[in-house]
Structure 1
Amino acid sequence: MRLAHLAIIVMTGALALSACSRSGEPKPLHDLRSNSGEPEEFAIVPNKPLTMPQTFAELPQPTPGSANRTDQTPKADAVAALGGNPAALQPGAAGSIGAGDAALVQQASRYGRDSTIRQTLAAEDQQYRKNKGRFSWSIVPRDDYERAYRGQKLDSYSWLRRYRQAGARTPSAPPAP
């Protein structure tokens, strides 16, 4: 009789654990949530200091939802610090290609290109993660990114060795770990 009670308790526990799983949506591969209840200090980004323009005619027209003059621009600041042109980061018209990238895009798409490749890959990746996540449950939270994509990972040193053995000129590489 005790064995039957133990079996019922184990089955009930397994049923309760399975009820806690997310259904319908794929499990995130990088689970970066913090359950500490404390504020996230890296989510707070201070604004740039307010400055008074020489004339109020320099101020742009207010546009709801657009960037503010005091918002941080870390990418543009990094480009400027490295001697680049921060204006090159600003896209032109929606979907347009900048003048500096037109030749690159033309060369890369000389054999044709699929304009919906991002949507196709996102849907295929979501299905792949859903299939991989069916039997990957764990009592202890863990990061499953490496396990999910392990079969698709290229061994760069193996390919470097193959190319060198075939006589191809290859760049130098750091020693294998």
Structure 2
Amino acid sequence: MIGRIGLAALTALTLAGCERDNPQLFNLRSADRTPDEFAILPTKPLETPADLSTLPPPNPGGVSRTDPAPQADAILALGGNPTGGTRADGALVSAVSRYGVQAGIRDQLATEDLEFRRKNDGLFLERVFNVNVYFKAYRTQSLDQHAELERLRALGVRTVAAPPEAD
């Protein structure tokens, strides 16, 4: 009886450690089933218009004026026009695309990153015991902020917001 349970548990652990379709290097899932406090947005306060005849027609299942719109609110708070889109930022778009824009770059990067994560998703026991290997996998791509600070200062570049000193 115990031998069969042990064999079943070993088989389950082995199969769980072999899952490689979409490797998760940085596991942000919570162990408990509590709500995500960052996903809860308060609604805007209800307002009574000066003239009730100017109200828009009901829109069942549609967007309400009291629904939160965090992206539009952030654009508005920064002095932008939420309905303007990228046309309002023409100078920015032309500045960042001055060397050309590669079509489909997001899909290409997503594919390359998935392949990188598949190659670097940890050893067998790290996957079995759900050990976080995110920082180890991306270590070669990380920037040494203190070495970069010294390099920029040696070039005479003003570094107003310097990183804190290393311990």
Ranges in structure 2 where 5+ consecutive residues have no aligned partner: none
Out of 96, 100, 103, the residue aligned to residue 115 of structure 1 is: 103
Give the length in aligned residue pairs.
159
Contact 1:31 / 1:143 at 8 angstroms: preserved in 2?
Answer: yes
Q: Is the 8 A contact 1:27 1:133 kept in 2?
A: yes
The answer to whether the 8 Å contact 2:146/2:163 transfers is: no
| Paired position in structure 2 for 1:23 | 19
Deviations 1:6-55 (A, max 9, x none): xxx99876543121246352222232223334x41624434223333333
Partner of 2:152: 163
Q: How far off is 1:132 after superposition? A: 0.7
Q: Quick check: 105-114 or 43-52, which moved more?
A: 43-52
Aligned to 1:40: 35
5 Å-filtered alignment, 1:118-133, equals: 118-133=106-121
TM-score (normalised: structure 1): 0.68
Question: Which amino acid counterpart does residue 73 of structure 1 have in structure 2?
Answer: A
Q: Tell me by how many angstroms 1:78 deviates.
A: 5.2
* Structure of higher RCO (CA pairs closer than 8 Å, 6+ residues apart): 2
Structure 1: stretches of 5+ with no match in the other structure: 1-8
Contact 2:44 2:66 in 1 (8 A): yes
Q: Which TM-score applies when normalising by structure 2?
A: 0.71
Preserved contact between residue 153 and residue 159 of structure 2 (Cα < 8 Å): no
Q: Contact (CA 8 Å) 2:121, 2:133: kept in 1 or not?
A: no
Q: Which residue of 2 aligns with 1:151?
A: 140
Alignment correspondent of 1:6: none
Counterpart amino acid of 1:30? F
Aligned partners of 2:44 and 2:68 also within 8 Å: yes
Deviations 1:119-143 (A, max 9, x none): 1111111111011116263443343
Give me the whole-angstrom Cα distance separating, in 2, the residues matched to 1:91 and 1:28.
37
Determine if the alignment matches structure 1 residue 71 to structure 2 residue 56: no
Q: Percent of counterpart pairs with the same letter?
A: 34
